[in-house]
Each structure stands twice: as C-alpha cells, then as structure tokens.
Structure 1
C-alpha cells in the first residue's frame, strides 16, 4: 500500500544544506498499522508530510496504492491525496465556522462523487461511532479538545480512504482523553480495514501497532514487528 524508496529531504540553512532524511526505504502492506517513532528532530514529521504529499522530497519517491506521488503536478496530487489519504492532526485542524457535522462532511463535499444524502448519512454514522451523536450541531469552540479530536477522526474516515496518517493524535490531550481517542482510532481502523501510519513519541501508544519504525538523525535505525497488548485497550 505504501512504498518509500530512497527518500531524502534536505533544506537550505544559510550557506549549508541540512539533511533531514538521508535515504530511507520501507514498504507497508495493506491493512498494517505502523508507528513511526524518534526523538524531536529525527525526521518523523517530515516523513509523514512526504507520505501525505504535503511536501516534495529532494530525492527518492513515495508510492501510495501503486501511484508515485512525489513529482505529480499539484492538481493530480490533490486528487490522489483526497481519495487515498485521511489525515489526523495533533492540533485537530477543524474549520471554526463549521459545525462538527459540517467539518466531517467537508472532504466528502470536496472529493466524493456520491450523493449528498449518502455523505450526510455516512458523516452522521461516524459521529455516532465516536460518541458525538448529541454534538453534531456544535461548533469547535463549543467542544472540548477530546471532542474536537473525535470530530477529526470521523472526518479522516469519511471517504473510506485506504490510508490514514496520524501525527501525534493524542499529543494535545490528557491521559484519559488520549486513551479514548486512541481506542476510537484503532476501532475505526479495524472496522474500515485501512492502512494506518501513526507518528508518535509515546512508546505506550506505539505498543498497539503491528510494527514499529524508529528514526534517528534521518535514518531508520529499527524496523520490527511488535507484540501487541490485549485488544482490551487502555481500559
């Protein structure tokens, strides 16, 4: 589902180039949940941005579901991104002038070919699944951080994307809300059959992944399958 081949990313800092990613390669099969870990500055957020097509590599390529995305023109990249990837941000990234239901519907309205009624039904079902049946008409400012992240989860899955990318999805939440959001994310991932790539610095969260990739100084220093805890998640 994901192929990373010789990926490099450098940026100009004054008179010198700084290498953030130094030629990394790995593959992620369909349906696998991987956690990408590493200290601050290791390159993990840069890698996630390249996987999402939000940035271009200095060398190498990324393939998503068989499509090489790194050098596509923006119009074609936007179509691939819209139909292939659901994204969960640490800072929620909800539109403040839209209700919870409207935020979830937004990717559907921008990318889907189906009927408006089908999209509305799907959005409502997802909000029920994340425990927000009574908050659909609330605006982000009226929701707690945990509730906003649950809206973001529903939005990420609205188009049934084959790939979901999550950038520190519990990083802004307290322990209780973080555990709840993690459980919802994994339950949605299982029920929808997506491939999940999660960037985190939290080793406890990473334990729930099928596989853990660790970056250090722009290189993969560890890539191993994990022994996951009981499915009874962080009760």
Structure 2
C-alpha cells in the first residue's frame, strides 16, 4: 500500500545544506498499522509530510496504492490525496466557522471525485460512532480538545480512504482524552480496514501498532513487527 524508496530530504539553511532524511526504504502492507517513532529532529514529521504528498523529496520516491506521487503535478497530486489519504493532525485543523458536521463533510466538498449523495448520512454516522451525535451543530470553539480531535477523526475517515496518516494525534490531549481518542482511532481503523501510519514519540502508544519503524538522525534505526501489537 505504501512504498518508500531511497527517500531523501535536504533543506538550505544559509550557506549550509541540512540533511533531514538521508535515504529511507520501507514498504507498509495493506491494512497494517505502523508507528513511526523517533526523538525530536529524527525526521519523522518530515517523513509523514512526504508520505502525504505535502512536500517534495530531494531524491527518492513515495508510492501510494501503486501510484508514484512525489513528482506529480499539483492537480494530479490533489486528486490522489483526495482519493487515497485521510489525515489526522495534532492540532485538529478544524475550520472555526463550520460546525462539527460541516467540518466532517468538508472532504466531500473539496473532492470532485467523491460520491456526495451519501455524504451527509456517512458524516452523521461517523460522528455518532465517536460519541458526538448530540454535538453535530456545535462549532469548534464550543467543543473540548478531545471532542475536536474526535471530529477530526471522523473527517479523516469520511471518504473511506485506504490510507490514514496521523501526526501525534493525542499530543495535545491529557491522558484520559488521549486514551479515548486513541481507542476511537484504532476502532475506526479496524472497522474501515485502512492502512494506518501514526507518528509518535510515545512508546506506550506504539505498543498498539503492528509494526514499529524507529528513525534516528534521518535514517531507519530499526524496523520490526510488534508481536504484542
């Protein structure tokens, strides 16, 4: 489902070139839950952005569901992202002027390939599944952090993407809300049958993954199946 080959990312910092990713190779199978781990500065968030097609590598390639995305024109890339990827951000990224239901429906409005007739029913069902059936008409400012992240989970899954990418989805939440959001994410992922890639620095969270990929200084330090996951 996800293939990474020779992936490198460098940036210019004044007269210096800073190598963030230094040549990464791995594949993630359909339906697998992979946790990408590493300390701050290891390159894990940069890697996730490249997997999502939000950035262009300096060298190498990312393929999603058989489609090489790294050097696609922006219009083609947007189509692939819309069909293939759901994204869960640490900071929720909800539109403040839209209700919870409207935020979940937003991918339908942005994706011309999406089948819209069942969109409202699908969005309502997902909000019900994350415990927000009575909060659909509330705006983000009226929701707690945990509730906002649950809206973001519903939005990520609304178009039934084959891949969901999550960047520290519990990082802004307390332990109780973080555990609840993680449980909902895992339940949704299992129910929907998606491939889940989650960036985290939390070793406890990573114990739930099928596989753990650990980065250090822009390289893969270890890549192992989690027999307890």
TM-score normalised per structure 2: 0.98
Q: State the Cα distance separating 1:113 from its structure 2 match.
A: 4.2
Taking the aligned partners of 2:62 and 2:24, their CA distance within structure 1 comes to 11
Runs of 4+ in structure 1 deviating by more than 4 angstroms, as ranges, are 112-115
2:71 paired with 1:66: no
- 2:213–2:223 CA contact under 8 A, matched in 1: yes
- Rounded to whole Å, the distance in 1 between the matches of 2:5 and 2:47 is 12
In the alignment, structure 1 segments of 5+ residues that lack a partner are 230-235
Measured after TM superposition, the shift of residue 5 of structure 1 is 0.2
- 8 Å contact from structure 1 (residues 9, 57) kept in 2: yes
* Mean Cα deviation higher: 123-132 or 107-116: 107-116
Q: 1:203 to 1:111 in 2, by over 3 A?
A: same
Match of 1:38 in 2: 38
Q: Give the match for residue 102 of structure 2.
A: 102
Deviations 1:12-34 (A, max 9, x none): 01101000000000000000000
SS in 2 for 1:136: coil
Post-superposition CA distance 1:189-234 (Å, at most 9, x none):
00000000000000000000000000000000100001335xxxxx
Residues 79-228 of structure 1 mapped to structure 2, 5 A cutoff: 79-111=79-111, 113=113, 116-228=116-228
2:83–2:113: 8 Å Cα contact kept in structure 1?
A: no
For residues 117 and 25 of structure 2, the distance between their equivalents in structure 1, rounded to whole angstroms, comes to: 42
**Cα distance in structure 1, aligned partners of 2:112 and 2:161:** 11
The answer (yes or no) to whether the contact 1:112–1:159 under 8 Å persists in 2 is no
Match of 1:125, SS state, is: helix
Query: Residue 221 of structure 1 aligns to a residue in which SS?
Result: strand
Question: Which residue does 1:232 correspond to in 2?
Answer: none
Segment drifting more, 220-229 vs 34-43 = 220-229
CA contact (8 A) 1:214 1:223 kept: yes
TM-score normalized with structure 1 length: 0.96
Aligned Cα root-mean-square deviation (Å): 0.9
Change in 2 beyond 3 A, CA 1:75/1:101: same
Q: Distance in 2 between matches of 1:226 and 1:79?
A: 33
List gaps (5 residues or longer) in structure 2.
none
Whole-Å separation in 2 of the counterparts to 1:117 and 1:36: 36
Residues 115 and 73 of structure 1: is their aligned pair in 2 closer, same or farther, counting only changes over 3 Å? closer
Residues 103-136 of structure 1: per-residue CA shift (max 9 Å, x gap): 0000012115455441000000000000000000
**8 Å contact kept, 1:35–1:213:** yes
Contact 2:108-2:115 at 8 Å conserved across structures: no
Matches within 5 A, 1:22-37: 22-37=22-37
